[in-house]
Amino acid sequence: MSVEKLLSRMLIYSFPRRIVFGLNSIDNLADEVKAVNGRNVLLVADPVIGKTEAFAKIKGKLEAVEISFSLYDRVEPEPPLA
């Protein structure tokens, strides 16, 4: 299977936590949060990712359905090993 074909599908893993990723998976974010009775979401990113269009879309999806969230954007990108 080609990488393009694999990435065009939404994939779900549940070992031990549910991970949903793939093309347009952000569109299902509100449903995923509601499925676990989520009311408060912690978004974790580095300063660069936190400013991307994709991240803005995530925040917009949560705001549209009035799910509160906090953003922690102080993750160090590619942290050193030592």
Residues 3-50 pLDDT 10s: 677 667 777 666 777 788 888 899 999 999 999 898 899 999 998 988
Residues 41-79 pLDDT 10s: 999 999 898 899 989 999 999 999 999 999 999 988 787
* Number of Cα atoms under 13 Å in the Cβ half of residue 5: 2
Query: If you ran DSSP here, which 8-state letter would residue 47 be given?
Result: T
- The overall longest dimension of the chain from CA atoms, in Å, is 42
Structural domain boundaries in the chain: 3-72
Q: What is the pLDDT of residue 50?
A: 87
Contact 72, 42 (CB under 8 A): yes
Report the distance separating Cα 44 and Cα 52, nearest Å: 13
Count CB atoms within 10 A of the CB of residue 53. Answer: 6
